[in-house]
Structure 1
């Protein structure tokens, strides 16, 4: 027992020697960026750059830090963008007037249309023949809000064409107001439709639609009137950043494609670009944070890329709830040929988080990210500002800075220490097992020697002989009897 305790003590001592204290864990950061500050304010904020997302090794961005010139971390908050309430736009049916080619550019009211005292339009002639019709004049009326889009309901079973939009308040001077492509295609009993013409903040009374690929048969036209909340949501869409050119690789099963975003981006939009024109295929999109977790469905859509002369249209981007998963999977229905040959490419869009920090200490300040040793130390924005009336001033992201050689050496040294620690622990384990085996063998051998010594003692031999004689005498007595 004494030897066993001695060996155990040595093994425990070796293990402690091989394991460094927790405080020795390296706070190594993979990327460093300069932060440019103005005005000497107390608080600054910056949209977290895409490079920080790419360098982060945590799904919650817990390895983001801001340091001052003395290398001290400063307090900070990290806030995801808040989604504006999306109130459905108001739809109102508007009147439209087909115009012949010769009348579209006439000054004032075009041929076949008159203007009433209240500004409304009235028709005075039959609509032009199809061969002479390439423009439609739309009377938006009095809009209580902002004209967001025109929704054109087509009678055509199949239509694909481009349209340019102009606006005016007097039918004399016209201003460009955007362009769009309309689509209506029937596929496997369902209809693919793109019937919305976005208006670039139009506040005019009249809109003119010029059809570049032949005028469609229009059933009706609705006007989307945006509320203030819808307008905020639309502005938020313009703040989205995109990572383009992600190439998906085909999986082992037909119609299966895999890709990675390359960081914990809070992806809420996906553009799937099909490799071949004239392709239509339903698809389901899955994601997961790592290889060890199961897939979960996040969206489904019908993907298409249709070509008609100079017009080519593709499916709109897919909306998903903000998703920081890195692993993505697209499963395409292959019953009609799938996507064909070529590479499926993806663009991932997200709205970046806002980093707010206190400018404590002296400059220069740096943004650092990408550490396996640290955990999140962010506080809420309310706790950070502490009711301060001052508004956080916008900071600017400067150039990428080299990682300090000391940090790189520390990382390399820690890797070497980790490897050495593993080797020493294995050696200690093998030594302990071997020692225990030797002790067990020696104990067993000692037990056998003791048993043999007890069996060969003189007293034990005499007892054996006496017992044998008594056995013989008993046997003879029995035979005489």
Structure 2
């Protein structure tokens, strides 16, 4: 009981300190003000901070974010970039795979099969639903047995016979009973020969969900290769990070052949970069570097193969690089020109950062305003567990929601900024004038003392 009282007292003290820290601040101290709308049950509300609004901040860690009520009073708030902190345990597992055959003239997309499984659901045998004569059967895809994996599936890793080079494109479907299938999107792996080197891509991202079985169906008939290895990477976490948000296209600068740079609006924890490939049949091995500012050396962030190639009348595109979330404000892409490069002009890029949510405790009457854009204010955000005493991921999900009103961003008028600057200048001028007058007064006194005749004894 005493421990709970102590925690509550500490939380109250922290809340009071945070409120007093922002007590003297007012909305006009910040360059950007955004009206908010709230819905759902309060008194806590969470706002998914749009990237276009976040880029108006002056501090990389968003220390200059505030929420005010209608009376201009600062609200207690917290910043959340994940629903909960938890370690992720990744495991790679070899799985069994079974061929899926269909008749050469069949029109259905998915072959019908008969399966035999053990008591725990592990596949023992997979056969076509009807007997096919030699020469009539066509390999359409593969069935993977993931029944032994209990954690959510994050990545598929395939290997196949080396005789089948080029791109391999297929659909991915998931099921728990082999009867009802859910689409998990498209997959693509590749094996290419480039400049006397072999470039291979074996990994395919999965949506982070659990399933007992996966079905891989190749898009074009008779194009499925013979698999030699199938692995699934799973990850067990108590919660998943918030989704990524993408920027608008960002123009860059060409430094020299095969080298391009981009300046981000502010320091950001970038997790992915997407490079625009305008020209068909582009192939470019690249390396990406980043840094916080121009005075620092470049640090390697990622590397990979970017391409836009035409295959069977369709564009096959791989234009993304995955990063670790390191804070950068400048990016540099170095291209291996043996692939033909990316052209004379610097391509545009889009960058993705992890979504940030602002959670605030509504105090006083609305409407509420989000304010940001100050290089001088100190951080005032609280931990979620302090702002919400009985915090839990379930509690977080049930909070009321705040949204940006109409997507509008209200920025202080230049006249207000100029007036504030002029007021500051007048104060400086007044201080200097007082100092000069004081010096002048001292000088006059010194001269008068020097001119005064000495007193006779």
Which bin holds the TM-score, normalised by the shorter protein?
A: 0.7 to 0.9
Q: Distance in 1 between matches of 2:49 and 2:419?
A: 31
Question: How much does 1:70 deviate?
Answer: 0.7
Q: 1:160 maps to what in 2?
A: 167
Q: Deviations over 1:163-186 (max 9, x none)?
A: 234567887876655333332112
List aligned pairs for 1:394-473, cutoff 5 A: 394-399=400-405, 400=408, 402-403=410-411, 409-417=415-423
Q: Distance in 1 between matches of 2:45 and 2:324?
A: 29
Distance 1:388-1:138 versus aligned 2 partners, 3 A rule: closer
Contact 2:254 2:345 in 1 (8 A): no
Distance 1:410-1:306 versus aligned 2 partners, 3 A rule: same
Larger Rg: 1
Distance 1:61-1:24 versus aligned 2 partners, 3 A rule: closer
Unaligned ranges ≥5, structure 1: 1-22, 435-441, 443-481
Q: Deviations over 1:72-108 (max 9, x none)?
A: 1122222333475141342313222443323574998
Q: Distance in 2 between matches of 1:394 and 1:381?
A: 15
Q: Are positions 1:241 and 2:249 aligned together? A: no
Distance 1:426-1:211 versus aligned 2 partners, 3 A rule: same
Q: 2:30 maps to what in 1?
A: 29
Q: 1:260 maps to what in 2?
A: 263
Which of 337, 344, 348 in structure 2 is aligned with 1:345? 348
Q: What's the TM-score, normalizing by structure 2?
A: 0.72
Q: 2:284 maps to what in 1?
A: 281
Distance 1:417-1:327 versus aligned 2 partners, 3 A rule: farther
Q: Distance in 2 between matches of 1:331 and 1:159?
A: 25
Q: Are positions 1:136 and 2:144 aligned together? A: no
Q: Distance in 2 between matches of 1:141 and 1:386?
A: 40
Q: 2:44 maps to what in 1?
A: 43
Q: 2:215 maps to what in 1?
A: 207
Q: 2:272 maps to what in 1?
A: 269
Question: How much does 1:242 deviate?
Answer: 0.8
Q: 2:329 maps to what in 1?
A: 326
Distance 1:101-1:225 versus aligned 2 partners, 3 A rule: farther
Distance 1:309-1:259 versus aligned 2 partners, 3 A rule: same
Contact 1:27 1:374 in 2 (8 A): no
Contact 1:150 1:221 in 2 (8 A): no
Question: How much does 1:279 deviate?
Answer: 3.0
Distance 1:311-1:93 versus aligned 2 partners, 3 A rule: farther
Q: Are positions 1:304 and 2:280 aligned together? A: no
Which of 182, 187, 192 in structure 1 is aligned with 2:199? 192
Distance 1:79-1:105 versus aligned 2 partners, 3 A rule: closer
Distance 1:133-1:340 versus aligned 2 partners, 3 A rule: farther
Q: Distance in 1 between matches of 2:233 and 2:25?
A: 61
Contact 2:174 2:214 in 1 (8 A): yes
1 or 2, which has the higher strand percentage?
2
Contact 1:43 1:391 in 2 (8 A): no
Q: Distance in 1 between matches of 2:89 and 2:372?
A: 34
Contact 1:107 1:172 in 2 (8 A): no
Question: How much does 1:241 deviate?
Answer: 0.8
Q: Distance in 1 between matches of 2:342 and 2:46?
A: 44
Contact 1:287 1:296 in 2 (8 A): yes
Indicate the SS of the match to 2:417: helix
Contact 1:138 1:207 in 2 (8 A): yes
Contact 1:33 1:397 in 2 (8 A): no
Question: How much does 1:335 deviate?
Answer: 4.8
The number of aligned residues is 409
Question: How much does 1:117 deviate?
Answer: 7.0
Q: Are positions 1:220 and 2:200 aligned together? A: no
Which of 88, 93, 103 in structure 2 is aligned with 1:90? 93
1 or 2, which has the higher helix percentage?
1
Q: Distance in 1 between matches of 2:307 and 2:41?
A: 53
Q: Distance in 1 between matches of 2:71 and 2:420?
A: 24
Indicate the SS of the match to 2:246: strand
Contact 2:100 2:111 in 1 (8 A): no
Distance 1:136-1:246 versus aligned 2 partners, 3 A rule: same
List aligned pairs for 1:354-393, cutoff 5 A: 354-386=357-389, 391=395, 393=399
Question: How much does 1:403 deviate?
Answer: 4.5
